[in-house]
Amino acid sequence: MQINDLPFGTTDWSSVPVSEHKGDQGMAYWRTRQFGDIRVRMVEYSPGYVADHWCVKGHVLLCLEGELETELADGRRFTLAPGASYQVADNAEPHRSSTVTGARLFIVD
């Protein structure tokens, strides 16, 4: 990743507007900042959330709270607890997220 033309700045995530995204079950609440081609998000999944699609976007994702299950299209599953992360390239491995307990994530893509 090449980061260009981005002066130093800070983000108070509590002041960033929330957008709602319905899953097959539950809701995702995104706070999003866009820096050129780089999208940075604080995402909260409600308990029982199940994504409504297989994602092919690349991400670097850090679990901050709760527990996140990520399923890959090939059937592998990974569970992230607070402090754990994953990274995946664009169009590399379709994946989808779910959570029983709810989760709060920091995502760069």
Torsion sign, CA atoms 8, 14, 17, 18 = positive
Express each pLDDT in 31-88 by its tens digit: 999 999 899 999 999 999 999 999 999 999 999 999 999 999 999 999 999 999 999 9
DSSP letter at 17 equals P
Tokens coding 3: 């980061």
Residue ranges of domains in the chain, CATH in brackets: 42-109 (2.60.120.10)
Residue 100's region, left for phi above 0, alpha for psi from -120 to 50, else beta, is alpha
Express each pLDDT in 1-42 by its tens digit: 678 888 999 999 999 999 999 999 999 999 999 999 899 999
Tokens coding 65: 């709270």
Whether the model clears a pTM of 0.75, i.e. scores above it, the answer is: yes
- 39: three-class secondary structure by DSSP: strand
pLDDT at 24: 97
Helix or strand holding residue 91 (H, E): none
